[in-house]
Chains A and B, each alone.
Chain A
Amino acid sequence: MIRLENLQKTFVVDGRAVPALNGISLDVPEGEVFGIIGRSGAGKSTLIRMLNLLERPDSGRIAIDGRDITGLSDAALRGVRQQIGMVFQHFNLLSSRTVAENVRLPLELTASGSRAEQDARVAELLELVGLAAHRDKYPSQLSGGQKQRVGIARALANRPKLLLCDEATSALDPQTTQSILDLIADINRKLNLTVVLITHEMGVIRRIADRVAVIDGGRIVEMGPVAEVFLHPQHAATQSMVAELSHADELADSGLLDSATGAVWRLTFVGATTHEPILFDTASRYGLSFSLLQGTVSRLKDLPYGQLVVEWHGEAARLAEAREGLSARNVVVEVLR
């Protein structure tokens, strides 16, 4: 669906060259939810805006559906853009138009269908995003979450194959964020729409992305399935973003680690293992006792996972056996102490 090859972009600010993207290459297959995460200034915004050429790269190739879009004429580029929906952090709705008129705008631009057909399409879209009752309101009368739903309906009006989400939930509160992410995930499933989203929040990636690229200083420093990157972050930038979400810093701050007298392990497991009584089994089988220092059991999109920090007491030989036993059950063991 999308193939980026060696994208380069440098901005000139006050006469100084500021590199924004430095050799970005990636592939996004059709139907995937692909997340791009990075701190502000990492270059992620520049990157997503290149996918419909709101920003042009200095060099490199951007292929959408196998076609390089960097060399297209204005008219051909407009055609490509009509096939790519985009949702923005600040919604960017037209304040002079009602909800229904905002959603109709893309249809007017492409002059697609009669007035009646456009009406029907608008009604269908407002139904999809749950705003049918608000069709004649103006954006200023809506909440943030409702505005974003209008933004999503507008982005979908021309039945795009690709949806770009530029920090789509960053201006929303946690509950609204959840409902908007559910909506995007729902649309991705129902319409088999490819979604590329950028965010600075690991929580967003965790909830809806299939794969993720971590971008730092204009480069992709880590990329892979979300479970892998999230549970076993390699790069420092990824580790710090994951730590924020899993409260790993709190463990260090709490002093629990320093005051521990036994062996402290971090256990990570995904899928069916999450439902197994691994701690009890291990303790009883190897004659160990344990206390739980910290733990998370949650989901990565549809995949259940757990991450527990456990302090064990027992004989060293039994501990070593326990460690192998856990590994055999697909539990990843990291020794913290």
Chain B
Amino acid sequence: MELDWSLLDWAEIGVATWDTLRMLGWSLFFTVLFGLPLGVLLFLTSRRQLLANGWLNRVLSFVANVLRSVPFLILLVVMIPVTAWLVGTSLGVEGSIPPLVVGATPFFARLVETALREVDRGVIEAVQSLGATRWQIVWKVLLPESRPGLMAAVTVTAITLVSYTAMSGVIGGGGLGDLAIRYGYQRFQTEVMIVTVVILIAMVQALQMAGDWLVARVSRK
């Protein structure tokens, strides 16, 4: 098959890339905003922890599991009315952010929970013995001590969000995924497909490198 690169509309690819970055940025922001407290709560309410509460933990855990077990493509479609009500549209960058956040938040929360479990129990106990409140333990011990793990969790989540943004092209979400589906798939323009895939690979690589660098920077072990 002959590839004809002259047909590529670079301006449109530029817009699509920018759209993907916006979707990624906003959805990552809200995912961390909602997922971090949820992860902390999942951890604190688990067995033998500071707010050990079996009932609440089971409810949170169940909700997180349900959301995580729905394939993202299905979640996109199911979320359409909610999204329309929430941001006024289910299309474009704005329309794809709510499903991205709903899809990624439970995932991120689980990663946060795992990172917090890595904090030495003895350290928490030592700070308890100093008369710390639960709030102080979260802010002064759990979060700072698990910083490398949390950074790694943000990195993994950001990369997952890149692939989710590509999928949201299916419901007209805009961005590189949208471009790839409309041109690469529906109009058989393989060139567009190749270019979008290359850009996505570059994005994931850049995120992973930035994440690794941050983790190394905050690691004190």
Contacts and interface: CB of A to CB of B under 8 A. Distances in A.
A139 B127 CA distance: 16
A265 interface: no
A97 B123 CA distance: 12
Given A96-B145, A140-B221, A90 B122 contact: yes
Interface residue range, chain B: 20 to 34
Contacts of A154: 126, 130
A93 B123 contact: yes
B49 interface: no
B205 interface: no
A96 B147 contact: yes
B186 interface: no
A92 interface: yes
A293 to B, nearest CB: 46
Interface residues of A, number: 30
Given A94-B145, A95-B145, A109-B132, A88 B140 contact: no
Contacts, number: 71
B128 interface: yes
Interface string B102-140: 000000000000000000101101111111110010001
Contact of B136 (A88, A97, A109, A164): A109
B141 interface: yes
A105 B220 contact: no
A90 B125 CA distance: 12
A81 interface: yes
B25 interface: no
Contacts of A158: 130-131
A257 to B, nearest CB: 46
Contacts of A54: 125, 128-129
Contacts of A82: 130-131
B144 interface: yes
B131 A81 contact: yes
Given A92-B122, A94-B141, A105-B140, A79 B147 contact: no
Contacts of B132: 78, 109
A86 interface: yes
Contacts of A97: 144
Interface string A115-153: 000000000000000000000001110000000000100
A109 B125 contact: no
A95 B128 contact: no
A268 interface: no
A52 B127 contact: no
A108 B127 CA distance: 11
Nearest to A86: B129
Contact of B130 (A77, A96, A106, A140): A106
28 contacts: A52-B129, A54-B128, A77-B131, A78-B133, A81-B129, A81-B130, A82-B130, A86-B126, A88-B122, A88-B125, A92-B126, A94-B123, A94-B141, A94-B144, A95-B220, A96-B147, A96-B218, A105-B140, A106-B131, A108-B140, A109-B130, A109-B131, A109-B132, A138-B220, A140-B221, A151-B126, A154-B126, A158-B131
Given A94-B145, A96-B144, 5 more contacts: A79-B131, A81-B130, A93-B123, A151-B126, A158-B131
Interface of B: 120, 122-123, 125-133, 136, 140-141, 144-145, 147, 218, 220-221
Q: Which 7 A-B pairs have the closest CB atoms?
A: A92-B126, A81-B131, A82-B131, A78-B131, A92-B122, A86-B129, A96-B144
